[in-house]
Structure 1
Amino acid sequence: MKPRYAAHGLAAMALMLCCGGAAAADLLQLKAAFIYRFAQLTQWPPPPAREFTYCVAGDAALQEALRAVAQNGAHIVTLSEPQRAGQCQLLVLGSGVRGDLRRWQEALGDDPVLIVGETPESFRSGAVIGLVIEPDGLAFRINQTESRRRGLAISYQMLKLAREVR
């Protein structure tokens, strides 16, 4: 089942934005919760007949945290090579793939994949959403130009909560 816009969870996301000081494990769970909500608050073009797939590259611990947060048996896979990225609707590029960002983006082309970057470099290099650790907690930035290029529609509610929209 493909996630659609969802108003629920916005209050929880706003609460997460405001509250800092989380331990490393809590930060990992917080990242996973954000990523899960990003999928719910994004609309994809008509999907092929397959289940929604979350993919994580370069951060195995985040994959496990996402598995704990995701509901209804979401399909979550770890990728080590960009060639398999086409199976994803949402792709998280962790710090472990920092040097290979261009290869991942080239493999995806213009596919309707919501790319979430965990590093400032990934956001500057074309990720749709950049997760950013700030002194007061976790925040995110949205590249609306890239989301439109990929045929994705980010909900207005999420755009309002973003630290930056470009």
Structure 2
Amino acid sequence: MDRSQKEALVAEMNGVFADAGVVVVAEYSGLTVAEMTNLRVKMHEAGANFKVTKNRLARLALDGTDYSSLSDKLKGPVGIAYSSDPVSAPKVVMDYAKGNEKFVVIGGAMGSTELDAAAVKSLASLPSLDELRGKLVGLLQAPATKIAGVVAAPAGQLARVLSAKAEQG
């Protein structure tokens, strides 16, 4: 990789970090290529990304962003998971870490707030943005459904009474 490619990678990663809602750093030492591919597929399905870069280039990309505090965590074979949704990347990373002891979550950050491994785990237990939206829509629709049922009930009862009288007479 020549200097211009490195500069382009740093600029690209800087833009990614500027737009990210959360960044998680994890050690992947000992994972096979198939396991890494599986992790990347799961991240992509959740709307997140997992990237392995040279730590020096990642530190340069972190400079000038809210995530510059993560520079000290970039030691050894580490990868960076990121997403615009603050829950997607931590959720996939923690699920993957449960099933694979070679994959260890070191920490992360959400904006300028630095997170340790326990904080990333608690963030992963929260519902995602789409789940919250679904619950909110369900809560908003529930009263309307109940009102429609209450309004329609007397008319339904009247129709049943008239139907019963018609059958008798």
> Aligning the two structures, in what range does the TM-score lie when normalised by the shorter sequence?
under 0.3
Return the structure number with greater helix share.
Answer: 2
Greater RCO between the two (CA within 8 Å, min separation 6)? Answer: 2
TM-score, normalised relative to structure 1: 0.27
TM-score, normalised relative to structure 2: 0.26
Structure whose CA Rg is larger: 2
